[in-house]
Amino acid sequence: MSKKDKIVYQIYPKSYQDSNHDGWGDIQGVISRLDYLKELGINYIWFNPMIVSPQRDNGYDVADYRNFDPRYGTMEDFEELASEAKKRGIDIMFDMVFNHTSTEHEWFKRALAGEEKYKNYYIWKKGKAPGVPPNNWQSKFAGSAWEYVEKFDEWYLHLFDVTQADLNWENPEVRKECADIVNFWRSKGVHGFRFDVINLISKSGYDDDPNEYDGRQFYTDGPREHEFLKELNRNSFGQDEDHLTVGEMSSTTIANCVGYAGEDSNELDMVFSFHHLKVDYKNQMKWELQDPDIMALKRLLTQWQLGMQEKNAWNALFWNCHDQPRSVSRFGNDKEYRKESAKMLAAAIHMLRGTPYIYQGEEIGMPNAYFTDIHEYVDVESTNIYDVLLKEGKSEEEVLHILQERSRDNARTPMQWDDTENAGFSDVTPWLRTAGSYKEVNVKDTLKDPDSIFRFYQELIRMRKEMPVVQEGLFRPLLEDHEKVFAYERKYGDESLICINNFFGEETEAELPLEGYEILLSNYKDAVLADRIVLRPYETIIAYKK
């Protein structure tokens, strides 16, 4: 089965559709919207975790891998979802969180009770001295990556929240448990799996970090990583020829990813990497703002395209997800040129070599939330950093502006279905406030507009499904030194496709050899081709020649 014609749509279930009047999205809500997703044309729905969790980290702190959190629904609801999706030609992709479990998980509770079998499921070390952790590693959520348990006079490792204890993948029983969990969900009709921070499961030792003091060099892309992934593939999803898998790779390298997602590596089908989503971080600091560095963006996208292509490995393509602000607000212009810039960003990413991921609301051009009060934010990262930045001396106005640009809640506001109260997401107050843009930006109005962002996405999806040059074509960068335009060619046999994208809100000129090409798609009705082309604000042109 070719996987190169597939498109994945990500749903953050809490915010998609509430069906039972509690302000919280659920499985039945998704079922009620499947016809919309069929109309869009996607092949897979990837769901953020809906299984039992204390929700310290939005479900990425798993307390039970085999049961749904009742707020989302029941196993019967899910089986209905899988069946109804399949009728519409849509498969399901589930999030597998295998680097750690919640400390509420039965395994960890039994470890704390002193059961040696389960204690060995986790990573325990003696401190360097009384009250001193085993090393100087820092948690990704701030503070030490170790927590002391007096009963054992030992510390357990948690690379994330203190309630997310790292699993010990050196233990074959842990690896078997993880394969069994994948197989359980396969038995429920799940063919797709996204593996959360999966390149952190192999640790290379527990020395002090002499450089960065966070330890990542000891736990990222570790020595047994490829071995563990091959084994997981062999013992679970690899037995299903229709599987689709993606690994979220933290702080990774192309050199490692060509192994994780190589055509014949028997590990994963593709990888997420995040380097291109840091080009607006001033000094690489998330909470320091600057305009996106488009030259850096071009360079990073090109490096990953060429590096993965050279070794016949596969990229996951995306601008948006539940952890990133909205791309139309970030790399486009969500005020004067919302439609134009949203379409340009879509074309720029969808015509690349890889599998495109669409995040809920992206296909209608949902912008950032632009909350004006800290009490409107729910995300723990946002509320924590608000206090930190105020203590650093920033004014409240400055801090709120930073959150308007950077907060993860920008992506998590309820899906905007119509212009009624709460945007048609729920008939009661939602868990997170609806963004103010829903009166102008919503599905109901979008579907009436033949020139909508949604219709543009439909065309991009149709092209990927129908055109071998989009599925298989080699990537070649064009206009690499142009400071405003990201352009590239895809070549397959005697077919050539050129994608030209102006990343700015003003006109710019570009020279390209376009003789013999025809326009397949553009975000301006009257686009023309010439060897010297004048691109209007955020103009995108997809040209084709055979």
* Predicted confidence (pLDDT) per residue in 262-276, tens digit: 999 999 999 999 999
E-state strands within 61-116:
64-68, 91-96, 100-102
pLDDT tens, residue order, the chain (546 aa): 478 999 999 999 999 999 999 999 999 999 999 999 999 999 999 999 999 999 988 899 999 999 999 999 999 999 999 999 999 999 999 999 999 999 999 999 999 999 999 999 999 999 999 999 999 999 988 789 999 999 999 999 999 999 999 999 999 999 999 999 999 999 999 999 999 999 999 999 999 999 877 899 999 999 999 999 999 999 999 999 989 999 999 889 999 999 999 999 999 999 999 999 999 999 999 999 999 999 999 999 999 999 999 999 999 999 999 999 999 999 999 999 999 999 999 999 999 999 999 999 999 999 999 999 999 999 888 998 999 999 999 999 999 999 999 999 999 999 999 999 999 999 999 999 999 999 999 999 999 999 999 999 999 999 999 999 999 999 999 999 999 999 999 999 999 999 999 999 999 999 999 999 999 999 999 999 998 999 999 999 999 999
Same domain, 149 and 276: no
pLDDT of res. 20: 97
Closest CA to 53 of 44, 65, 45: 65
Catalytic annotation, pick one of 196, 225, 267, 379: 196
* 333 alpha-carbon distance from chain centroid: 22
Residue 462 lies in a domain: no
**Residue 248 a catalytic site member:** yes
Residue 465 lies in a domain: no
Helices (H), 207-337: 216-219, 225-235, 254-260, 294-310, 327-330
Same domain, 23 and 89: yes
Residue 511, classified by CB atoms within 10 Å of its CB into exposed (0-12), middle (13-18) or buried (19+), is exposed
Note down the domain range covering 151. Answer: 106-166
Catalytic annotation, pick one of 248, 269, 280, 334: 248
Residue 468 lies in a domain: no
Rounded Cα gap, residues 484 and 478, in angstroms = 12
Same domain, 53 and 162: no
Same domain, 160 and 178: no
Q: Which of 432, 457, 482 marks a domain boundary?
A: 457
Same domain, 251 and 212: yes
Same domain, 196 and 316: yes
**Residue 196 a catalytic site member:** yes
Half-sphere exposure at residue 143, Cβ-oriented, CA atoms within 13 angstroms: 9
Same domain, 151 and 21: no
Kindly give, in sequence order, each residue whose CB lies less than 8 Å from that of residue 382, ignoring residues fewer than 6 positions away: 403, 407, 408, 409
Rounded Cα gap, residues 333 and 539, in angstroms = 12
Rounded Cα gap, residues 158 and 60, in angstroms = 13
pLDDT of res. 308: 97
Same domain, 54 and 127: no
pLDDT of res. 429: 97
Q: Which of 119, 150, 166 marks a domain boundary?
A: 166
As for how many domains the chain has, the answer is: 3
**Phi/psi at 167 (nearest 5 deg)?**
-80, 150
Rounded Cα gap, residues 287 and 380, in angstroms = 15
CATH of the domain at 505: 2.60.40.1180
Same domain, 142 and 203: no
pLDDT of res. 421: 95
pLDDT of res. 228: 98
Q: How many helices (H) and strands (E) does the chain have?
A: 18, 22
CATH of the domain at 256: 3.20.20.80
CATH of the domain at 156: 3.90.400.10
Same domain, 44 and 73: yes
* Predicted confidence (pLDDT) per residue in 471-526, tens digit: 999 999 999 999 999 999 999 999 999 999 999 999 999 999 999 999 999 999 99
Residue 199 lies in a domain: yes
pLDDT of res. 143: 86
